[in-house]
Structures are given as C-alpha cells and as structure tokens.
C-alpha cells in the first residue's frame, strides 16, 4: 500500500495552479445523462471522477478521457442505457446517487443502490428521496436499492427542504430539469458547485435561476445537440494550499481561481493574521509568525466549509491561544484530531466542538489517513512538523487531490510517495 513521506519544516515557494472542482464535476457528469454530446474541460483527474466515469460507462454511455487536454467527451448516441446503478459502483463514492435524478427524469424509472454510511457520518439520502417524491416519483427501498418510478414523467412542484443538503439540491435540480411545468426549490444549498451545475444545464437548454436559497426551474423538453463546459476551480483545493502557505510558505502564488468565491475563508485567514495579496484570479500568500486564535463554525455556503475544517485545525495548532471549531455538518468529522495529537497538537473534543490549544510544536510521526480531508490535514501537519511524517492509507487523498505531491514538490516541499 502506498504511503507519503514528508520531511517537514521546509519553506515552500513558487506557483500553484488550482485544478477543476471534483465536487462540481461529479454532478455535471451525472447531468451528462441528460445530454447528447458533451465536452467537459478543466477536469480534475482524481479517483472519484474515475469512479463516476465507470458508473456512467456501466449504464451504457460512451466516454473518452483525454488526460493531457484535461477533458472528458461524452456521447449518448442511443437512448438505450441501463437504468441501474449497482452497489459495487455506488458504495465507494456517495456521489453515485446523483445519477438517480437524471435517470428518473429521462427514463422515468431508476434502480440505484443506497450509498450507505461513510467514515464521517451516517449520510442518509432521505432529503434526495423527499424531493423526488414531491416531483411525483413513486419510491420503494428494497434489498438495499432505491427503486423509483414516474410512469407519466415527473411533474414540477414547490419543494421546501427541511434541512440544507448539497447532494439533495443537485438531485432535485437534475430531476426537475425534464419535469412538466415549473419547480421551485426552497431552502436549497447554494454552493458554487451547484451554480456551476445550473450554468451547465442552462447551456443544455434549461431555464434555471437561483435567488438566495430559492431555485426556479422551468421544465425543459428539448436539449441542445452539443455543449461544452469549463468546470469551475476547486475552492477546497485552493483553501488547502492557502493553509499550507500560511504554515510554511515563503511566497506562494495560487492561480486559476476566483477570489470572490471564497470570501468567508479569506476573512478567517485575515483575522488569523495571515498575509494575503488578493487579486481577482490569484492570491499571493506567505507564512505569518504571529497566528491569532479564532473561533469558527462550519456552515453551508457561503459559510466556512466543513471540507476545510481539518486543514484549518492544523493552522490553529500554530495560533497563540485557544481556538475553537464547531462542526455543524457531519457528526463524525474529527477523526484527524487523534492523529494530530500524536504529532504534538493539543486538541480536545467536546461534543461538536474541537478546542485547539496553541501554539504547539508538531513532530513528525507515522499516521493514518481516515478520509479525504482528514488525510490532507495530515499532509499539512507533516509540512510544518519537525523531521519525518509517514502517512498511510493515502488512497483517501487520491480520491480528491490532483497531483498533490507534484504541486508541492514544484514549490520545494520534501514529499514523496513510496
């Protein structure tokens, strides 16, 4: 099994280009079920994307990946695709459940495996099913599968989500795309990745608008023959490298981004005393020797993202005083804490809150990655720690970070995969 070995306490300097967003690409790939010819650009070639491609190929779509161009081309020549997503392809990646909405919308029936839990929490799909039922789908759960049917097609409706969910909002948009009449989604998630999905669907012929937490969808009958789309940058990858630079950066310039999209993250870094030069499409950042304590809570966008919680916690270990993070999105997302404590951090968990007593000197150790974002927090800790850090189970990292070692090595980090 592969491991990462990092020799820390080395300053990093140079340029980093941010890849396309994994979390935007996944629903857009699911949306390609609704299309005829699609070219997607700025694709991050990470494991989750290959898993989704495998699922789409299984159901019968023709897909050509061009790694050097960073593109995926999809052709749906005939309409004879399978309406089944089997357990073996959905269990490794929850986003597989996003094919439910488009398959049901287009083929009026779908049999999709329940994705099951994962390390960071139980992660149910009740909100996805709630929305589809409101659109007129008949849904049964049998032998671990969601069996959905809408014999006469889905019908537009007004849906108020009881809680905010990114995936449920995406599935509802994808299903409502071909529904008869108008749909209004209230209390929706408004993540930039959802806006990217909407922009993709509007290119396809849709008429979808977002206003605060409301999304208005006019049912679309006819789709365009051919569309192209450039996927938005990965704001979580950007946040991760911003924190890396705040920890050990001499001078790092991060490119291929839109700064306005990560306002809450930048505000927090500024409050922590991180030195930033913010431009429209790049941010230059260097290490601060006087990191200030802060209290934050994870929230749906535009709040601070749960996907950056583990990374920010590493920066908090270097702050003067006690910082706190309240995790409001997932119930079990502090698994990195015990590993960070093994490296010398002083972090205590009380219910939903991690209390980080800083500043701590981090020391290299052999550690275990437990999920995608937790594993990258260990990379950040390794970069700032004394001596050698060995990170096991890095397949978690490969699910979501494109060319991580290469991007860091280009900036003189001492990191290698064995």
Query: Over the Cα atoms of the chain, what is R_g?
Result: 22
Active-site pick, 35, 118, 220, 411: 118
- Residue 218 makes CB contacts below 8 A (sequence gap 6+) with 182, 206, 207, 208
Please report how close the Cβ of residue 10 comes to ligand UD1 at its closest, in angstroms: 30
Asked whether the beta carbons of 157 and 185 are under 8 A apart, the reply is no
Query: Per CB under 6 A, which of residues 181..240 are in contact with ligand UD1?
Result: 189, 193
- Residue 406 makes CB contacts below 8 A (sequence gap 6+) with none
The nearer residue to ligand UD1, 130 or 177, going by C-beta atoms, is 130
Q: How far apart are CA 56 and CA 377, in angstroms?
A: 31
Total residues interacting with ligand UD1, rule: CB under 6 A: 23
Please state whether beta strands 388-392 and 4-7 pair in parallel, antiparallel, or not at all (unpaired): antiparallel
Residue 125 binding ligand UD1, by CB under 6 A: yes
Please report how close the Cβ of residue 214 comes to ligand UD1 at its closest, in angstroms: 17
Query: Which of 38, 63, 166, 198 touches ligand UD1 (CB under 6 A)?
Result: 166
Task: Say whether the peptide bond before residue 302 is cis (omega within 30 degrees of 0).
Answer: yes
Q: How far apart are CA 13 and CA 329, in angstroms?
A: 34
The structure tokens listed for 75 are: 């052709």
The nearer residue to ligand UD1, 125 or 296, going by C-beta atoms, is 125
Query: Which of 159, 329, 354, 369 touches ligand UD1 (CB under 6 A)?
Result: 329
- Binding region for ligand UD1 (CB under 6 A) out of 75-83, 99-107, 215-223, 300-308: 300-308
Please report how close the Cβ of residue 300 comes to ligand UD1 at its closest, in angstroms: 7
- Residue 336 makes CB contacts below 8 A (sequence gap 6+) with 310, 313, 370, 373, 374, 377, 378
Residue 94 binding ligand UD1, by CB under 6 A: yes
The nearer residue to ligand UD1, 167 or 249, going by C-beta atoms, is 167
Query: Which of 307, 327, 339, 371 touches ligand UD1 (CB under 6 A)?
Result: 307
Tell me the torsion sign for CA atoms 42, 397, 193, 284.
Answer: negative
Residue 336 binding ligand UD1, by CB under 6 A: no
- Structural element, H or E, at residue 85: strand 84-85
Query: Which of 20, 70, 167, 206 touches ligand UD1 (CB under 6 A)?
Result: 167
Asked whether the beta carbons of 288 and 49 are under 8 A apart, the reply is no
- Binding region for ligand UD1 (CB under 6 A) out of 119-127, 174-182, 285-293, 340-348: 119-127
Please report how close the Cβ of residue 332 comes to ligand UD1 at its closest, in angstroms: 10
Count helices and strands (H / E) in the chain. Answer: 14, 24
The nearer residue to ligand UD1, 161 or 177, going by C-beta atoms, is 161
Residue 117 binding ligand UD1, by CB under 6 A: no
- Residue 50 makes CB contacts below 8 A (sequence gap 6+) with none
Query: Which of 29, 43, 49, 168 touches ligand UD1 (CB under 6 A)?
Result: 168
**What phi and psi, each to the nearest 5 degrees, are found at residue 366?**
-90, 125
Known catalytic membership, residue 35: no
Please state whether beta strands 282-286 and 275-278 pair in parallel, antiparallel, or not at all (unpaired): antiparallel
Residues in contact with ligand UD1 by CB under 6 A are 23, 26, 94-95, 121, 123-128, 163, 165-168, 189, 193, 305-307, 329-330
Question: Catalytic positions, please?
Answer: 118
């Amino acid at each position: 099994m592969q491991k990462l070995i990092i020799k820390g306490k080395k300053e990093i300097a140079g340029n980093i280009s941010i890849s396309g967003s994994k979390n935007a690409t996944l629903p857009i790939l699911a949306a390609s079920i609704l299309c005829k010819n699609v070219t997607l650009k700025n694709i991050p070639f990470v494991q989750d994307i290959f898993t989704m491609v495998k699922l789409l190929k299984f159901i019968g779509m023709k897909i050509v990946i061009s790694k050097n161009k960073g593109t995926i081309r999809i052709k749906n020549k005939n309409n004879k695709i399978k309406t089944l997503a089997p357990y073996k392809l959905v269990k490794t990646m929850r986003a597989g459940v996003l094919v439910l909405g488009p398959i049901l919308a287009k083929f009026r029936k779908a049999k999709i495996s329940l994705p099951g839990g994962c390390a960071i929490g139980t992660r149910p799909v009740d909100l996805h099913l709630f929305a589809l039922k409101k659109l007129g789908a008949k849904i049964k759960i049998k032998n671990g599968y969601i069996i959905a049917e809408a014999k006469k097609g889905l019908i537009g409706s007004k849906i108020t989500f009881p809680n905010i969910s990114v995936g449920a909002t995406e599935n509802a948009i994808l299903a409502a795309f071909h529904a008869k009449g108008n749909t209004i989604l209230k209390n929706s998630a408004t993540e930039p990745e959802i806006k990217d999905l909407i922009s993709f669907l509007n290119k396809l012929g849709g008429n979808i608008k977002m206003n605060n937490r409301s999304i208005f969808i006019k049912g679309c009958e006819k789709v365009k023959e051919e569309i192209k789309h450039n996927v938005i940058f990965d704001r979580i990858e950007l946040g991760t490298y911003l924190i890396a630079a705040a920890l050990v950066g001499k001078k790092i310039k991060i490119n291929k981004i839109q700064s306005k999209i990560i306002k809450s993250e930048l505000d927090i870094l500024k409050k922590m005393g991180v030195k930033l030069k913010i431009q429209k499409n790049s941010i230059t950042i260097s290490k601060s020797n006087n990191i200030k304590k802060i209290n934050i809570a994870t929230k749906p966008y535009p709040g601070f993202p749960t996907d950056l919680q583990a990374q920010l916690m590493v920066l908090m270990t270097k702050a003067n005083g006690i910082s706190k993070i309240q995790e409001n999105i997932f119930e079990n997302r502090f698994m990195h804490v015990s590993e960070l404590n093994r490296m010398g951090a002083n972090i205590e968990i009380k219910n939903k809150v991690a209390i980080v007593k800083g500043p701590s000197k981090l020391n290299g150790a052999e550690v275990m990655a437990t999920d995608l974002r937790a594993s990258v927090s260990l990379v950040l800790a390794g970069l700032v720690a004394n001596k050698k850090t060995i990170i096991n189970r890095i397949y978690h990292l490969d699910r979501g970070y494109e060319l991580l070692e290469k991007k860091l090595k280009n900036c003189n980090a001492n990191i290698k995969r064995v």
